[in-house]
């Protein structure tokens, strides 16, 4: 299990037969997954050249993930909600418009904040990083388990110390491992309503992180150098506002004493309108600089119809990463035909084979 998780985090995939030509047939053809070696050897834009772009499918791709999240494609405008739903909608919207108090925003785990600052500091010492990991027993245990996995352990003797584990794993791998391990409890929430909500939202966040890092590594910043880990962090955290809204709506429904479980309409309406904006506010409150919050906030501009081409390269990269992650999940859940997925991605010169680690993203992983 840990080897598989580590492979996803580091962008690896198991050895496989050589990949055929990426997309050499019409849009109905299914793009074959690419092994890591072949994917690295080919230019990222080579595959989609033979796929007909489908702008209508691209427009429907991200909303299709919301349908998957809530288990329903039924959509109601705010004025069509029942009286209890209208009350909840109005109360939560008023809070979001007024701005949530800083102490009510989700907190970045302290160890993540401290460790990220050390990892970004070129003068940060290995010793200080070791001390930070030791402060969190669960994190230390996870690091040791990964260091002892077949992917890293080369000798017969088990690795029993944090020092040797961190030397073996290295700082680059440590960034992804630490961030994913400690952010997961925040994103993969308990399914109070909509059984698969937390699990699917985590899968989409993890997929967006992996795809964003892959695009940054491939130089998809269109002339702007984007740090792969910063791209990874943006992908992982771009939906934290949705988690905050989920809790706000659930708590408001409970306070109203509603006799029946809420329908998805209030959640969906508020998340579509305010999810990216609140995510940007939360991440900015964590003090990680402005590059990530701006890219996350720009996702709301795209949702309102603004062309990604009008936005900064990092915002476009994050949007493209989200498309890749959602396409991968819709394929995994057999929700869309391959030709529609390929056509939607081709609008932005993308294909799923460009991010082979997404093919190993198992449900709730």
Residue 192 CB neighbours (<10 A): 16
Contact 354, 44 (CB under 8 A): yes
pLDDT-based confidence at residue 169 (cuts at 50, 70, 90): confident
In 3-state terms, the chain is what percent helix, strand and coil (to 5)? 65, 0, 35
CA distances 350 to 8, 68, 88, 211, 319, Å, are 19, 22, 40, 11, 12
The two three-digit tokens of residue 171, written as one number: 């700082």
Per mean pLDDT, which of 29-43, 135-149, 332-346 is the most reliable? Answer: 332-346
Q: Over pLDDT 90: what percentage of the chain?
A: 36
The angle at the Cα of 268, spanning 260 to 266, to the nearest 5 degrees, equals 40
Residue 305 gets the label, from left (phi > 0), alpha (psi -120 to 50) or beta, of left
Q: pTM for the whole thing? A: 0.77
Dump pLDDT digits (tens) for 198-244.
888 889 998 999 899 999 988 865 667 888 888 999 999 999 999 89
């Amino acid at each position: 299990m840990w080897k598989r998780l580590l492979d996803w985090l580091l962008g690896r995939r198991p050895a496989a037969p050589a990949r055929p030509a990426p997309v050499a047939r019409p849009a109905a053809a299914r793009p074959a997954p690419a092994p890591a070696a072949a994917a690295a050897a080919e230019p990222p834009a080579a595959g989609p050249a033979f796929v007909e772009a489908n702008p209508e499918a691209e427009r429907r791709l991200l909303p299709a993930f919301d349908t998957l999240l809530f288990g329903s494609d039924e959509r109601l405008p705010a004025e069509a909600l029942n009286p209890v739903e209208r009350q909840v909608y109005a109360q939560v919207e008023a809070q979001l418009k007024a701005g949530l108090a800083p102490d009510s925003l989700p907190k970045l785990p302290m160890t993540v904040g401290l460790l990220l600052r050390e990892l970004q500091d070129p003068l940060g010492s290995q010793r200080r990083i070791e001390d930070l990991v030791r402060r969190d027993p669960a994190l230390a245990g996870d690091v040791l388990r990964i260091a002892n996995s077949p992917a890293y352990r080369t000798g017969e003797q088990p690795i029993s110390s944090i020092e040797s584990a961190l030397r073996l794993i290295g700082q680059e791998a440590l960034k992804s491992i630490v961030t994913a391990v400690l952010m997961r409890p925040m994103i993969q929430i308990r399914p109070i309503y909509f059984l698969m909500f937390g699990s699917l939202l985590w899968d989409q966040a993890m997929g967006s992180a992996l795809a964003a890092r892959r695009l940054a590594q491939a130089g998809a910043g269109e002339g702007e150098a984007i740090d792969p880990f910063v791209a990874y962090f943006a992908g992982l955290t771009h939906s934290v506002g949705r988690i905050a809204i989920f809790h706000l709506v659930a708590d408001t429904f409970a306070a109203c004493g509603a006799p029946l479980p809420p329908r998805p309409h209030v959640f969906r309406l508020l998340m579509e309108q305010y999810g990216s904006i609140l995510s940007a506010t939360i991440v900015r409150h964590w003090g990680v600089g402005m590059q990530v919050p701006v890219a996350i906030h720009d996702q709301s501009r795209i949702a309102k119809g603004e062309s990604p081409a009008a936005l900064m390269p990092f915002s476009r990269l994050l949007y493209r990463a989200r498309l890749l992650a959602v396409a991968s999940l819709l394929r995994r859940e057999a929700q869309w035909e391959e030709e529609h997925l390929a056509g939607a991605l081709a609008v932005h010169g993308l294909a799923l084979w460009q991010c082979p680690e997404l093919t190993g993203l198992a449900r709730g992983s």
